[in-house]
Structure 1
Amino acid sequence: MKTKNVFKLLSICALTFTTLSCSDDDTQPIMEEEDQTSVRLFTSNNSDGNISILDVTNMSNVQSKTLITTSTAADGVYYDASTDAVFQASRSNLNLEGFYNVDMLLNNTTASIDISSTTDMESPREVAVNGDYYVVADNSDVDGDSNTPDGRLFVYQKTSNNFVLRNTITTNFKLWGIVFSGADLYAIVDTTDQLAVFNNFLSNTTDQTLMASKTISIEGIVRTHGIALDGNTMVLTDIGVASGTGTSATDGAFHIISDFSSKFNNTANGGTLALSEQVRVEGSSTLLGNPVDVAYDATTNTVFIAEAANGKILAFNNIGSGGNLSPVIDYNLASASAVYLSK
């Protein structure tokens, strides 16, 4: 056996998600290191609060493992490949929690919390990350008056051993999904068809009520929730009536907006982005009822969905023309709440 092949075989045998039979036969094909890069989907849920990790490198052979957490319900999830750490917003513990050395943990391992924030939140949803800053959208009613919609954005700075709450931003609309695009933070205006942006968001360093820099409506959406941005393509989900029963378990959809920045910039504040400038995926074959979160891979043009009403993680490709598409991945996950793609 050639020495260089020994190291390659050891690397292959150590793969986390798939059990392989290794051979010392030099005639066996050897996978070069650069070809071993995996594409993984990190997911959270409101059924048991555990973190599921799906290896979707080969979508016809999805491998998975689950990390057991102390949470019983969780939402926004994020993975930092540079430190091999996964983070989620715990809806039961009301804080932001992180778990290190994810690749070393086996399936159904109880993961210890390695880093956490104080319990500041009331109803945490999505997490958006920019450098060492972790922003969590909170959907709770700030003033206790349901007639005056509002929400909060908790801005945490990550240190070596905890999350420090830097400041809290109050918004004049209910929040759900959030995502950074450079210094700008895009935010879903919950219970509406609207999308807002806060320009240079992190420059707001004090506790305050902050108006969005711009808000537009997305034609064709009933109630938007999930948001994802990769390259210059944005994907938004539509949860429809959102009750999760009867026809509402099949009335979900998602919209793909290519060349997003120019389309958003060309839509006036308070205006509407026309459906003709988007692609909509909907219909009974999609299994979309309450698609609460979304991730998008611009390289493969694949959309990943956390589908809450039907308890699934779904993936769609060949989405260019939209319509009533069948998912290429249909993975059962009760009360799926969030997805994050790492590649």
Structure 2
Amino acid sequence: MKKHARLFFLAATALAFSACEKTDSMESMVTPSQSAVLYATNNSNGDISAYDLKSSNMMTTTFATSSTAADGVYFDGSTGTLLQVSRSSKGIEGFKVTSSVNLGGILNVALDIDGSKDMESPREMAVSGNFYVVADNADVDKNTATPDGRLFIYQRNGNSFSLRNVITTDIKLWGITFIGNDLYAVADADNKLGVYTNFLSNTSNMTLTTSKKVAIEGIVRTHGLDYDASTDTMVLTDIGDATNTQSDGGFQVITGFKSKFNSVSNSGTIAAKDMIRVSGPMSNLGNPVDVAYDGETKTVYIAEAGNGGGRILSYTNITANGDMAPKMNQSLAAASSVYLYKK
């Protein structure tokens, strides 16, 4: 997910929010952030977890929703709305979360924004203005030999979402993120990264081919991705062999991403020497399905779906290839998506 993820503001007695995530609006940080919250979804009970990264004891608040499974997550700081892609209801749902709560507790949230239930197997969500794009990884033609997927483009108006159009893709989908007007998407089931330029200009139902697609050397199977504009850094996750959910995952950090991506020809490869890879037994990475990157603190946050039943992990001081233990290691059953919100 997107997402990249911006962080969530928890005051001493209230929750307040403002965003930095998988959208096209990623401003450079001028002064250190005063608040930072990581949102996480899961496919175990459909609730949303919020980790106050500035608190000394990692205070966690759980937003209990009516969904039983969820994926992509996003926070709209301008309206105080927390949104997630519900895999159980097959649509986007939004909740107002600006009221005072007891920190570290569980808050039941009522559905505030809703829309049509059009999707089959929704995953990551990317946001650009009032447009919310969700990747659906269901096999469109029911032929596993021909990779495909769908991008559902919703427009938000007040308290509702309306489906504008559906794009059928030439790759199997999972993670997506906007960089400006271009939508980047991982090709689930292999090590490819594709881009659809000026994506939202495609306003009708259609089949769309990637404008460019490159391989990422060292990755077995991509899932999550996140881009930080302030540092021009892309991070991609690798779940490895899908049958091994405990120990063969990793992630790769590509600094100077735009020039490296642009310098590789279509169907070419970004070489392993042009990135840093973290993997190994100390990392607790088995099935890292989503990632958020904080360019200010150079921290990678991971939604790990498999290892230990599911975890939320973070890594800092990533300077060389190899294995490293996570700085943050919080259990979250069937973790599916992360979104970092800073203010």
- Asked whether the two chains share a fold, i.e. TM above 0.5, the reply is yes
Shift, 1:321, TM fit: 1.5
Aligned residue runs from structure 1 range 190-205, under 5 A: 190-205=188-203
Q: 1:206 to 1:330 in 2, by over 3 A?
A: same
Distance, in Å, in 1 between the alignment partners of 2:72 and 2:335 is 11
Pick the aligned partner of 2:303 from 288, 301, 306: 306
Secondary structure in 2 matching 1:104: coil
Q: Distance in 2 between matches of 1:42 and 1:63?
A: 12
Q: Contact 2:14–2:98 (CA<8 Å) still a contact in 1? A: no
Equivalent position amino acid for 2:254 in 1: I
Alpha-carbon deviations, 1:255-300, whole Å to 9, x = none?
A: 0000000000001000010000000001100000000000000000
Matched with 1:78 is: 74
Structure with higher RCO (Cα < 8 A, 6+ apart): 2
TM-score between the two structures when normalised by the length of structure 1: 0.88
Tell me, yes or no, if structure 1 residue 37 matches structure 2 residue 25: no
1:89 counterpart residue number: 85
Q: Does 1:119 align with 2:133?
A: no
Deviation at 1:322, TM superposition (A): 3.4
SS in 2 for 1:285: helix
Indicate if the aligned counterparts of 2:301 and 2:314 stay in contact, CA closer than 8 A: yes
Q: Within 5 A, what are the aligned runs for 1:122-137?
A: 122-137=120-135
Q: 2:143 aligns to what SS in structure 1?
A: coil
| 2:59 is the alignment partner of 1:57 | no
Amino acid at match of 1:111: V
Counterpart position of 1:267:
264
Q: Which secondary structure does the structure 2 equivalent of 1:196 belong to?
A: strand
Partner Cα distance (1:119, 1:145) in 2: 24
What RMSD over aligned residues (CA atoms) do the two structures have, in Å? 1.7
- 1:252 paired to 2:249: yes
Letter in 2 for 1:339: V
Within the alignment, does 1:336 sit opposite 2:335 as a pair?
yes
| Contact kept? 1:67, 1:108, Cα under 8 Å | yes
2:94 counterpart residue number: 98
- Structure 1 segments of 4+ aligned residues over 6 angstroms from their partners: none
Residue matched to 1:170: 168
The answer as to 2:141 corresponding to 1:155 is no
Structure with bigger gyration radius: 1
In 1: Cα distance, 2:144 partner to 2:135 partner: 18
Q: Residues 178 and 103 from structure 1, CA distance in 2 versus in 1: closer, same or farther, beyond 3 angstroms?
A: farther
Which residue type is aligned with residue 241 of structure 1?
Answer: D
Report if aligned partners of 1:86, 1:102 keep a CA contact under 8 Å in 2. Answer: no
Matches of 2:12 and 2:82, distance apart in 1: 24
Task: Judge which range, 35-44 or 328-337, deviates more.
Answer: 35-44
Partners of 1:101 and 1:52 lie apart in 2 by 12
2:259 counterpart SS class:
helix
SS at match of 1:226: strand
Aligned AA for 1:99? F
Q: CA deviation at 1:116?
A: 1.3
Instruction: Provide Cα deviations, 1:282-321, integer angstroms capped at 9, x if missing partner.
Output: 1100000000000000000000000000210000000121
Equivalent position to 1:222, from 212, 220, 224:
220
Q: 2:289 aligns with which of 287, 292, 301?
A: 292
What is residue 6 of structure 2 aligned with on the other side? none
- For 2:58 and 2:66, how far apart are their aligned partners in 1? 26
Q: Please list every run of 5 or more consecutive structure 2 residues that lacks an aligned counterpart in the other structure.
A: 1-9, 17-30
Q: Which amino acid aligns with 2:240?
A: G
Instruction: Answer yes or no: is the 8 Å Cα contact 2:91–2:117 preserved in 1.
Output: yes
Q: How far, CA to CA, are the matches of 1:169 and 1:101 in structure 2?
A: 32
Q: List runs of 5+ in structure 1 lacking aligned partners.
A: 1-10, 18-33
| CA 102–291 in structure 1, closer or farther in 2 if over 3 Å, else same | farther
Shift of 1:37: 2.6
Structure 2 residue 236 is the aligned partner of structure 1 residue 236: yes
Q: Aligned pairs, how many?
A: 313
- Whether the 8 Å CA contact 1:191–1:224 is kept in 2: the answer is yes
Asked if the contact 1:315–1:327 (Cα under 8 Å) also holds between the matched residues in 2, the reply is: yes
Comparing 249-258 and 317-326, the one that deviates more? 317-326
For residue 223 of structure 2, give the secondary structure of its aligned residue in structure 1.
Answer: strand
Q: CA deviation at 1:15?
A: 4.3
Q: Counterpart amino acid of 2:96?
A: Y
SS in 1 for 2:200: helix
Secondary structure in 2 matching 1:295? strand
1:73-129 CA-to-partner distances (Å, cap 9, x unmatched) read 100011111111111111111001001134535532221110112110000000000
Identity %: 51
